[in-house]
C-alpha cells in the first residue's frame, strides 16, 4: 500500500486511490484503538515533530495520540515558548530541529502555503495540519471516514457544507475530497461568505437558503464563523446570523427526513449550531473526533513508508 505523494499537503494532490487507501487503512487502526492495549510498534523507528504555530485542541491532541499509538518518538513545539518569538524564521527553526534527526513534521500555520514551503526546502515528510484558509486535509479525511462509516459510502451522497465557506480550509478539503469520491456537494450560507467563483471552480451547488440546503442533503457539515480571519464586516451580527443560518433541533425536526449533523469544531454554540442540535442523536460530532485518531494514524503510517502493519 503506497500513496502517490511523499507529503500530505492537501487533498487537492491526492488521487481517489490514495483517499481509498487512507480510509481503508484507518479502519484497521480504528480496530486497534478498540483493543485493551491500543498500541502498535509500526513507527518505533520514527521521530515526529508537531509544529503548531496556531491554536488547536482537536488536531494537536489527535496527532499526538496517533503518534503515541504508533510508538513514534514525538517532539512538541509551541511558538510562544520558542525562539520564533526572538525573530527566528520558519526555515531556520525547522532546520535546527531537523539537525536533531527528525523524520516527519506535522505543521499548523496561519499562513496558507507554509507546509508547501517546508516541503520544498527540507527532507522530512510534511503533514499539513491546517494552513491559513487553504486546506486541512486530515479534517477532510476524517469527515469522509465518518460519513462512510455512518452512511456506508461516499458516492452519490449529498453533503451540504454550511456557513463561512470563504475563510474555511475545512470546506476546501471537504469539497476536493467529496467531489473526487463521487459525492454531491452544496455550499450554503450568506452570499457574503461564499466566494462567487465556487460553482464554476469546484462544480458544487450554491444555496443561500438554509432550509432548502437541509432538505436537499443527507449530511450537513456545519462550519464556525471564522472571525479571526475576517478583516471586514461580512454580516450584521452573530444574533442575526443565528436567526438566518443557525441550526436548531426544532429546525431539524421540521425537515422531511433525518439528516446527519457534523461539525469540525470548535463549535460556537448558539451561533451556527444550537446546543439541542449539536447534542442530538443526529449529531456525529464526537465520532468525528474519535475517528480523527485512526485517520491520522493511517496518514502517518502510510507516509512513513513503514513496512507491514505490525500487530
Binding site for ligand CP (CB under 6 A): 56-60, 130, 136, 139, 264-266
And the C-alpha cell for 48?
515526529
Least separation in angstroms between CB 105 and ligand CP: 17
DSSP letter string, 221-280:
EE----GGG--S--SS-HHHHHHHH-B-HHHHHTSSS--EEE--S---BTTTB-HHHHTS
Q: Which residue has the CB atom at the shortest distance from ligand CP?
A: 59
* Torsions phi, psi for 131 (to 5 deg): -125, 110
Nearer to ligand CP, 184 or 264 (CB): 264
- Alpha-carbon distance of 122 to 125, in angstroms, equals 8
Map residue 205 onto helix, strand or coil.
strand
Nearer to ligand CP, 40 or 126 (CB): 126
- Alpha-carbon distance of 43 to 181, in angstroms, equals 29
Least separation in angstroms between CB 250 and ligand CP: 26
Nearer to ligand CP, 23 or 142 (CB): 142
Count of all residues that appear for the chain in the document: 311
Nearer to ligand CP, 91 or 227 (CB): 227
Q: Closest by alpha carbon to 253, among 221, 286, 211?
A: 211
CB-count burial class (<10 Å; 0-12, 13-18, 19+) for 291: buried
Nearer to ligand CP, 56 or 280 (CB): 56
Least separation in angstroms between CB 211 and ligand CP: 26
Rg of the Cα atoms in the chain: 19
Least separation in angstroms between CB 198 and ligand CP: 21
Least separation in angstroms between CB 224 and ligand CP: 9
Residue where the block lists cell 496561519: 110
Nearer to ligand CP, 128 or 139 (CB): 139
Nearer to ligand CP, 293 or 306 (CB): 293
Least separation in angstroms between CB 263 and ligand CP: 9
Q: Closest by alpha carbon to 114, among 81, 79, 145, 162?
A: 79
Least separation in angstroms between CB 142 and ligand CP: 9
Least separation in angstroms between CB 55 and ligand CP: 6
- Alpha-carbon distance of 272 to 250, in angstroms, equals 14
Q: Closest by alpha carbon to 104, among 84, 126, 72, 76?
A: 126
Nearer to ligand CP, 57 or 78 (CB): 57
Map residue 181 onto helix, strand or coil.
coil
Amino acid at each position: 500500500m503506497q500513496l502517490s505523494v511523499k507529503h500530505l499537503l492537501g487533498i487537492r494532490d491526492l488521487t481517489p486511490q490514495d483517499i481509498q487507501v487512507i480510509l481503508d487503512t484507518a479502519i484497521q487502526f480504528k480496530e486497534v484503538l478498540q483493543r485493551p492495549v491500543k498500541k502498535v510498534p509500526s513507527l518505533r523507528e520514527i521521530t515526529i515533530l508537531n509544529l503548531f504555530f496556531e491554536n488547536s485542541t482537536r488536531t494537536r491532541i489527535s496527532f499526538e495520540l496517533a503518534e503515541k499509538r504508533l510508538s513514534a518518538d514525538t517532539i512538541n513545539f509551541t511558538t510562544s515558548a520558542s525562539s520564533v518569538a526572538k525573530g527566528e524564521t520558519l526555515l531556520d527553526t525547522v532546520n535546527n530541529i531537523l539537525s536533531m534527526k527528525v523524520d516527519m513534521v506535522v505543521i499548523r500555520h496561519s499562513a496558507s502555503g507554509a507546509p508547501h514551503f517546508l516541503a520544498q526546502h527540507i527532507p522530512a515528510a510534511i503533514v499539513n495540519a491546517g494552513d491559513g484558509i487553504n486546506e486541512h486535509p486530515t479534517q477532510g479525511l476524517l469527515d469522509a471516514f465518518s460519513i462512510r462509516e455512518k452512511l456506508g459510502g461516499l458516492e452519490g451522497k449529498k453533503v451540504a457544507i454550511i456557513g463561512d465557506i470563504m475563510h474555511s480550509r475545512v470546506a476546501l478539503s471537504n469539497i476536493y475530497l467529496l467531489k473526487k469520491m463521487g459525492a454531491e456537494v452544496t455550499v450554503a450560507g450568506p452570499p457574503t461568505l461564499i466566494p462567487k467563483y465556487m460553482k464554476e471552480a469546484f462544480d458544487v451547488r450554491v444555496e443561500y437558503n438554509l432550509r432548502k440546503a437541509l432538505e436537499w442533503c443527507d449530511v450537513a457539515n456545519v462550519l464556525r464563523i471564522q472571525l479571526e480571519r475576517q478583516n471586514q464586516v461580512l454580516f450584521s451580527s452573530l444574533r442575526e446570523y443565528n436567526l438566518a443560518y443557525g441550526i436548531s433541533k426544532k429546525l431539524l425536526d421540521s425537515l422531511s427526513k433525518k439528516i446527519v449533523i457534523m461539525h469540525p469544531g470548535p463549535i460556537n454554540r448558539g451561533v451556527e449550531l444550537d446546543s439541542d442540535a449539536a447534542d442530538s442523536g443526529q449529531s456525529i460530532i464526537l465520532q468525528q473526533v474519535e475517528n480523527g485518531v485512526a485517520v491520522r494514524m493511517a496518514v502517518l503510517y502510510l507516509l512513513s513508508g513503514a513496512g507491514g502493519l505490525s500487530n
